[in-house]
Amino acid sequence: MGFIPMYGVAIRDAIASNDLANMEAVAEQAKQAVKEQGDLSAALLELLDAIDTLKKK
């Protein structure tokens, strides 16, 4: 299995596959992505705030 971008669909597809090896592989990739990306949700909120600030100028 190659690299799979981690997002909800990839994780849900792994769950739906009901394939333990696939699920474990995707889980490991997701853990690594979370470790590397940190809190992506917080970063996105900061980006959206910065965009709003620029639009108001």
Domain assignment present for residue 22? The answer is yes
Length of the chain equals: 57
Domain assignment present for residue 20? The answer is yes
What tens digit of pLDDT does each residue of 31-40 get? 888 888 877 7
Domain assignment present for residue 27? The answer is yes
Cβ–Cβ < 8 Å for 30, 40 = no
Residues of the chain with pLDDT under 70: 1-6
Domain assignment present for residue 2? The answer is no
Among residues 3, 7, 14, the alpha carbon closest in space to that of 40 is found at 7
What residue has token string 């705030």?
49
Type of residue numbered 26: V
